[in-house]
Amino acid sequence: MTKGALDGVKIVDLSRMAPGPFCSMMLGDMGADVIKVEAPPTSRIIASKIINDAETRKKAASNPLNRNKRSIVLDLKEKDGIKILHQLCQKADVFIEGFRPEVVTRLGCNYETIKEINPSIIYCSISGYGQTGPYKDLVGHDVNYISVGGALGLIGSKNGTPSIPYNLIADFAAGGMNAAYSIVCALFSRTNTGRGQKIDTSMSDGVTYLLSAISGEYFNSGLIPKPGQMTLNGGVPYYNVFECQDGKYISLGCIEPNFWKNLCSTLNLEQFASSQHNEHEYQLIMRELEATFKTKKRDEWWDIFREAEDVAAAPVYEFNEVLDDPHMKARNMFIEAGSVDGAVITQVGFGSKLTDTPGAVRNLGTIPGAHSENILREIGYSADEIKKMVDSEVVFT
């Protein structure tokens, strides 16, 4: 198998919620060796449901956030559990944690402690509001971070309440993806300086960072961006969504004048070809577009637009439709990642496509603690020592 871009990079992942696991999944997909350190309650819960149950194994294998990782369950409230974690960090390149500030201090794995063990380590903290500032100790979730970060106030209809998107913006983009990018930057820096460093990834910061273009417009004009009133959030006819005859939706992104003219020609609405930026006609244009799209089913319109010359349009898919889309199939965005107990496991493919060092699924997710014994043997523990720690519930297998 071709080596991944991050082959040889060792990661200790102490994170729990979506941002951290997605971050380490991205790094693992590119070849990093990820050791996922899990908490004992997870092991006990699964054990109570029969740890070797086929459905449990399939569920674990089907979760892409756990692929390309090895799992060890440690009780970090025990002295020996912390000792093992510190041993794992001795030869690690990256340490990832997703707790609120000060939690890692109580657990004995804050940056200062881990840095003393391994000065060259990249230590990445992923939190809602960051390690500093008046909100640093507040609890929250994606909807809170996109609120403070400024994204939620831009999403929704002109006269309605904000529309809550799925937790993609803060958790996965501003959190996990931003953290993975930061880690790779820090690894690159280390090749030049030989020094590790700490990364403070705040999801609310990341949300605001994603609003870079909007911030530029605001500082230039002084106008406060509002939901449903801007070019890119539903304020214009040429960049909008419309319901079709079958109740499904089609999206338009005809920003460029030639795209708009081509759309008008395709829909036999040439009278509006020169009115793209005439706000006085927007209500009339919207009514005409709404009526026109109601005359055909969504996929009929999609067939028409694909055959037309340069019309920026696309169907609004439900998730099961994404799986069947021929372009997504051609781009290998859903793959047979492996099998468990004879059942094929389908997972999302790889967002980044590197020609020489492509992403790969080397192993599927497993039940918590599946690799505990192997990992302990790698760092020098004997079979008797491992048995004693399992018996005393410092380690779970």
pLDDT in tens, 294-304: 999 999 999 99
What does DSSP assign to residue 98?
A: -
pLDDT for the residue numbered 55: 86
Q: Give the percent of the chain with pLDDT over 70.
A: 97
Describe the crossing of helices 178-193 and 19-29 by its angle, rounded to 10 degrees. Answer: 50
Q: Which CATH number fits domain 239-326: 3.40.50.880, 3.40.30.10, 3.30.1540.10, 3.30.70.580?
A: 3.30.1540.10
**Band of the pLDDT at 33, cuts 50, 70, 90?**
very high
Residue in 77, 74, 64 with CA at minimum distance from that of residue 21: 64
391 is catalytic: no
Q: What is the pTM of this model?
A: 0.94
Mean pLDDT of 251-268: 98
**Band of the pLDDT at 52, cuts 50, 70, 90?**
low
Task: Give the length of the chain.
Answer: 397
Q: Helix (H, G, I), strand (E, B), or coil: what is residue 251? A: strand
Going from N- to C-terminal start, the domains of the chain cover 10-210+332-396, 239-326
**Band of the pLDDT at 101, cuts 50, 70, 90?**
confident
Token digits of residue 26: 């991205």
Judged against a pLDDT cut of 60, whether residue 47 lies above it is answered with: no
Kindly tell me the burial class for residue 223, based on how many C-beta atoms sit within 10 Å of its own C-beta (0-12, 13-18, 19 or more): exposed
Judged against a pLDDT cut of 90, whether residue 42 lies above it is answered with: no
Judged against a pLDDT cut of 80, whether residue 145 lies above it is answered with: yes
Q: Helix (H, G, I), strand (E, B), or coil: what is residue 169? A: helix
CA distances from 118 to 92, 104, 111, 172 (A): 8, 16, 10, 28
Phi, psi of 346, deg, nearest 5: -95, 135
Find how far residue 310's CA is from the centre of its chain.
31
Q: Tell which wins on pLDDT, 286 or 100.
A: 286
Q: E-strand spans in the chain?
A: 10-13, 33-38, 69-74, 94-97, 122-127, 197-202, 239-243, 249-253, 313-315, 334-340, 343-348, 395-396
Mean pLDDT of 42-64: 72
pLDDT for the residue numbered 397: 83
CA distances from 132 to 19, 115, 128, 198, 201 (A): 19, 19, 11, 13, 11
Q: Which of 141, 200, 299, 325 is catalytic?
A: 141
Mean pLDDT of 140-144: 96
Mean pLDDT of 226-236: 93
160-169, 248-257, 310-319: range with lowest mean pLDDT: 160-169
Q: Looking at domain 10-210+332-396, which CATH architecture does it have?
A: 3-Layer(aba) Sandwich (3.40)
pLDDT for the residue numbered 1: 65
Judged against a pLDDT cut of 70, whether residue 382 lies above it is answered with: yes
pLDDT for the residue numbered 270: 97
Q: Which of 13, 171, 205, 371 is catalytic?
A: 171
Query: How far apart (Å, rounded) are the C-alpha atoms in residues 91 and 267?
Result: 63
280 is catalytic: no
